[in-house]
């Protein structure tokens, strides 16, 4: 049976042992401080998180999974690497990938434990959860992303999408309008809300 890990602030510490300690032979370093960690980041990205690894084409020092694992143990909240892990998890439809020390879920668990106030981590994980239909968990993390960074149009849009899927159209409209007020470019959700008569001004284009 696959153990599914929740990354809620309350439950994440209980999985610390399962998902490993954050202390690492190289790191952990905060990806948000990458401007001051250029030398450290260069070592990791030149040797492990290459464009081919990011696109899930081929590994650099070992397998794709091995290079993503190294990257995320050195920089647990490496935003682009977490995005690649989310894409790999959807593609593989398995708990983990060859070369990875932990499950896909654990890399998000570790990122949240490392920097719980990083809104980008919450957005990436919430978006992944929505893609696999785990709406309540997605709502939790995207809501936190918006709380941490209320002026981020992508987070507001993704949160609106989750509310739409849960058929909470009032909240979907609220966050969608916030996203569009910040010039979010994709009209898909607005059109869906208009089609259901939930936008407010149904003649809006």
8: pLDDT strictly greater than 90: no
What pLDDT was estimated at residue 96?
Answer: 93
Work out the pLDDT band at 30, boundaries 50, 70, 90: very high
What pLDDT was estimated at residue 120?
Answer: 97
Taking only the tens place, the pLDDT of each residue in 167-176 is: 999 999 999 9
25, two tokens: 């032979």
What pLDDT was estimated at residue 9?
Answer: 39
148, two tokens: 């941490």
How far is it, in rounded angstroms, from Cα 70 to Cα 164?
A: 37
Taking only the tens place, the pLDDT of each residue in 89-99 is: 999 988 999 99
Domain ranges of the chain: 24-115, 117-205
What is the third-level CATH fold of 117-205?
Answer: 1.25.40
Work out the pLDDT band at 18, boundaries 50, 70, 90: confident
Of the two residues 8 and 171, the one the predictor is more confident about is 171
Three-class SS of 31-57? HHHHHHCHHHHHHHHHHCCCHHHHCCC
Work out the pLDDT band at 202, boundaries 50, 70, 90: low
**C-alpha distance from residue 53 to each of 10, 89, 113 (Å):** 33, 14, 24
101: pLDDT strictly greater than 80: yes
- pTM, two decimals, is 0.87
What pLDDT was estimated at residue 93?
Answer: 82
Q: Count how many Cα atoms sit within 13 Å of the Cα of residue 193 in the half-sphere of its side chain.
A: 28
Could you identify the residue written with the tokens 């106030």? 117
Taking only the tens place, the pLDDT of each residue in 115-151 is: 999 999 999 999 999 999 999 999 999 999 999 999 9
What pLDDT was estimated at residue 17?
Answer: 61
Work out the pLDDT band at 66, boundaries 50, 70, 90: very high
Of the two residues 23 and 11, the one the predictor is more confident about is 23
Average model confidence (pLDDT) across the chain: 90
């Amino acid at each position: 049976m696959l153990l599914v890990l929740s990354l809620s602030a309350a439950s994440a510490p209980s999985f610390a042992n399962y998902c490993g300690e954050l202390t690492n032979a190289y790191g952990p370093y905060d990806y948000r401080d990458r401007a001051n960690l250029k030398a450290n980041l260069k070592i990791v990205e030149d040797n492990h998180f290459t464009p081919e690894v990011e696109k899930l084409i081929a590994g650099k020092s070992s397998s794709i999974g091995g290079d993503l694992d190294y990257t995320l143990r050195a920089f647990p909240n490496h935003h682009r690497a977490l995005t690649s892990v989310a894409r790999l998890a959807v593609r593989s439809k398995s708990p983990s990938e060859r070369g990875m020390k932990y499950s896909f879920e654990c890399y998000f668990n570790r990122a949240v434990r490392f920097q719980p106030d990083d809104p980008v981590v919450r957005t990436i994980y919430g978006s992944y959860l929505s893609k696999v239909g785990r709406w309540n968990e997605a709502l939790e993390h995207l809501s936190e992303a918006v709380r941490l960074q209320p002026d981020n149009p992508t987070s507001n849009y993704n949160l609106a999408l989750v509310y739409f899927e849960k058929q909470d159209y009032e909240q979907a409209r609220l966050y969608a309008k916030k996203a569009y007020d910040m010039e979010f470019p994709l009209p898909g959700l607005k059109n869906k809300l208009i089609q259901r008569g939930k936008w407010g001004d149904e003649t809006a284009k």
